[in-house]
Amino acid sequence: MSTPHVFRQLDKKTQEIRLLHLHAILPSKEEGGTKSVAAHFSYTSLANDQHEKFMALSYVWGEANYLSSVVLDDGSHVTITENLLVAIEHLFATGFAPVSCTSAGKS
């Protein structure tokens, strides 16, 4: 498994947030295994009127006993819950992805 992603500190003065750019749903490497999501992070300032447009999606809900991951371009990963994986799959299935979803969690 890849190494956990280390988030850099967000700049609170500029109201900086992380944006998660979704690329694809990755099939499980083993039969019956967990899917994952290919993506990358970028950063933008909400204080700048020209910041990137994004879609916000809350990701802190549901049971944490089933975990999947977001695999980032640098090879690291971020663990996600089943509910978030299902929500991201829905975004792809309905044509809303690939899009940028906020990840303004812990800095």
Indicate yes or no: pTM above 0.75: yes
Res 52: pLDDT:
78
C-alpha separations of 28 from 13, 40, 60, 83 in Å: 40, 19, 23, 17
Quote the pLDDT of residue 34: 83
Q: Could you read off the pLDDT of 12-71 as tens digits, one per residue? A: 999 999 999 999 998 888 887 788 999 999 999 998 888 778 888 876 666 777 678 899
Whole-number pLDDT of residue 1: 55
SS3 of the chain: the string is CCCECCCCCCCCCCCEEEEEEEEEEECCCCCCCCCEEEEEEEEEECCCCCCCCCECCCCCCCCCCCEEEEEECCCCEEEEEHHHHHHHHHHHHCCCCCCEEECCCCC
pLDDT value at residue 100: 45
Side chain identity, residue 85: L
Q: What is the pLDDT of residues 70-90, one digit of tens each?
A: 999 999 999 888 888 888 999
